[in-house]
Amino acid sequence: MKIIIGVKYCGGCNVSYDRTEVLKKIESAFDESKVMFENVKENMLYDYVLILNGCLSQCADISKINSKYGFLSIVSPDGIKEACENIRILSLSLKEQI
């Protein structure tokens, strides 16, 4: 079973870090045959959603984004560890359900 992670970027009006680099670091922590990251599409259901907000305003609109197991808003590179931990926990939880 492949976990699908939706990725939502804010509009980028006041970016204080390289959001693309943060996503690359998160992606590199996982086997791509088991965890897939993709830009979100409205009204699609994802297992988990990462919101890459460029600053503390956290203005990304997620009103039409659906997630089975939650969302995580990242506002700095400090969010990498939490994102990886949450995805690992989700992965372990889903393996137990299979």
> Tens-digit pLDDT profile for the chain (98 aa)?
899 999 999 989 989 999 999 999 999 999 999 999 999 999 899 999 999 999 999 999 999 999 999 999 999 999 999 999 999 999 999 886 64
With beta carbons less than 8 A apart as the criterion, state whether 17 and 58 touch: no
What pTM does this model have?
A: 0.92
**Alpha-carbon span 42 to 22, nearest angstrom:** 23
Residue 98 has what pLDDT? Answer: 40
Q: How far is the C-alpha of 39 from the C-alpha of 6, rounded, in Å?
A: 6
CATH 3.10.620 fits 3-97, yes or no: no
Which of 13, 10, 34 lies closest to 92 in space, CA to CA? 34
Q: Which amino acid is at 12?
A: G
Q: Are 6 and 38 within 8 A, CB to CB?
A: yes
